[in-house]
């Protein structure tokens, strides 16, 4: 999608610190980390948020969670949090579906 930051990152048009890539998804470190380990996993296809997941595109979400499980094992992350913000009130600032993966510090519940 034109003028989408994460579409451009997935396409390599904007530089990022890559963690992982395959045909369907791209993972990269967050530019403003909120934990000692903080990366994002995004579908290469533009999907605006969880709210835009449909029967036609939902398989990539399961794929992304498989990738998160694999990366967490490879990076030795025993405990971590996966977050997706949907809408401005929930803190979404980039309107391309992404899952934050945060690890390496104590976390509180409920989230702020």
Give catalytic residue positions.
Answer: 98
Token pair recorded at residue 65 = 């969670």
12 belongs to the binding site for ligand AMP (CB under 6 A): no
Alpha-helix runs per DSSP H in the chain = 5-10, 59-74
Which DSSP string do the residues of 80-99 spell out, in sequence order?
EEEE---SGGGT--S-S--E
Member of 38, 96, 98, 100 binding Zn ion (CB under 5 A): 96
Member of 32, 56, 78, 88 binding ligand AMP (CB under 6 A): 32
Member of 30, 53, 61, 63 binding ligand AMP (CB under 6 A): 30
DSSP 50: G
47 belongs to the binding site for Zn ion (CB under 5 A): no
The order of strands in the sheet holding 18-21 is 18-21, 25-29, 37-43, 99-103, 80-83
User: Which of these, 93, 91, 82, 98, lies nearest to 44 by C-alpha position?
Assistant: 98
Q: Which residues between 49 and 88 bind ligand AMP (CB under 6 A)?
A: 85
The answer to whether 105 and 91 are in contact (CB under 8 A) is no
Q: Taking the complex as a whole, how short is the minimal distance between the CB of residue 13 and Zn ion, in angstroms?
A: 11
Member of 29, 35, 44, 46 binding Zn ion (CB under 5 A): 46
Query: Could you tell which of Zn ion, ligand AMP, none binds residue 46, using a CB distance below 5 to 8 A set by kind?
Result: Zn ion
**Which residues of this chain interact with ligand AMP, rule CB under 6 A?**
5, 16, 28, 30-32, 85, 91-94
């Amino acid at each position: 999608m034109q003028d989408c930051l994460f579409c451009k990152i997935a396409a390599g048009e904007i530089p990022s610190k890559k963690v992982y890539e395959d045909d369907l998804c791209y993972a990269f470190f967050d530019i403003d980390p909120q934990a000692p380990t903080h990366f994002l996993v995004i579908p290469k296809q533009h999907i605006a948020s969880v709210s835009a997941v449909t029967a036609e595109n939902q398989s990539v979400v399961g794929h992304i969670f498989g990738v998160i499980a694999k990366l967490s094992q490879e990076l030795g992350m025993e405990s971590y949090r996966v977050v997706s913000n949907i809408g401005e009130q929930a803190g979404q600032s980039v309107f391309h579906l992404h899952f934050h993966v945060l690890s390496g510090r104590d976390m509180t519940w409920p989230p702020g």
